[in-house]
Amino acid sequence: MRGNKAPQMTYAYGLSDEILGTAQEIYDAWMSSAGHTAMTGGDARIDPRVGGTFTAWDRHIVGRTTALEPGHRIVQTWRTADFAESDADSQIEVLLEPLPAGTRLRLVHTRVPDRLRGFEDGGWQAHYFDPMRADFASD
């Protein structure tokens, strides 16, 4: 088709980990500039309301919060400096499930540009889950 761009290929995946904090503590940290910075080690600026914007990892990540269920669920648009200008925003859904000793954090990442498989292949683990486990274990 002349003059039309081919649609961008995207994919979706889910990951999970167990964190020692309570679901509410993890939710509060994720939605707080100081808490998000502390739990990941990268500077974050969070407007903690639906429609609020955020940056994380020293502005490498930007997005907007689209849904909140305090202590249970966070939905945000998500794009990194690795996205091309033509890429649509991806979306993350963070689901927090209380466990007897901590919280199961399940992350569903959708509309990810197909060429950015590194998010699934260790990116979330190295830049979010591992630092979060260390931060909450030290509290």
In a domain, 28, yes or no: yes
Summarised one tens digit per residue, pLDDT across range 106-119 is: 999 999 998 887 77
User: How many structural domains is the chain composed of?
Assistant: 1
Q: Which residue do the tokens 């630092």 mark?
A: 131
Q: How far is CA 102 from CA 70, 75, 130, in A?
A: 16, 21, 15
What's the rounded Cα separation, in Å, for the pair 86 and 106?
28
User: Is there a domain that residue 123 lies in?
Assistant: yes
Give the CATH number for residue 28.
3.30.530.20
* Residue 44 covered by a domain: yes
Q: Which domain covers residue 89, as residue numbers?
A: 24-137
Eight-state DSSP code of residue 127: I
Query: In this structure, is residue 11 part of a structural domain?
Result: no
| Mean pLDDT on 12-31 | 96
| Whole-prediction pTM | 0.91
pLDDT at 13 exceeding the cut of 70: yes
**pLDDT higher than 80, residue 3:** no
Q: Residue 14: inside a domain, yes or no?
A: no
**Count of Cβ atoms closer than 10 Å to residue 28 Cβ:** 16
Does residue 80 lie in a domain region? yes
Alpha-carbon distances, residue 25 vs 5, 35, 72 (angstroms): 44, 9, 11
Q: Mind listing the pLDDT tens digit for each residue in 39-59?
A: 999 999 999 999 999 999 999
Decide if 16 is inside a domain: no
Count of alpha carbons within 13 angstroms of residue 9, beta-carbon side: 4
In a domain, 128, yes or no: yes
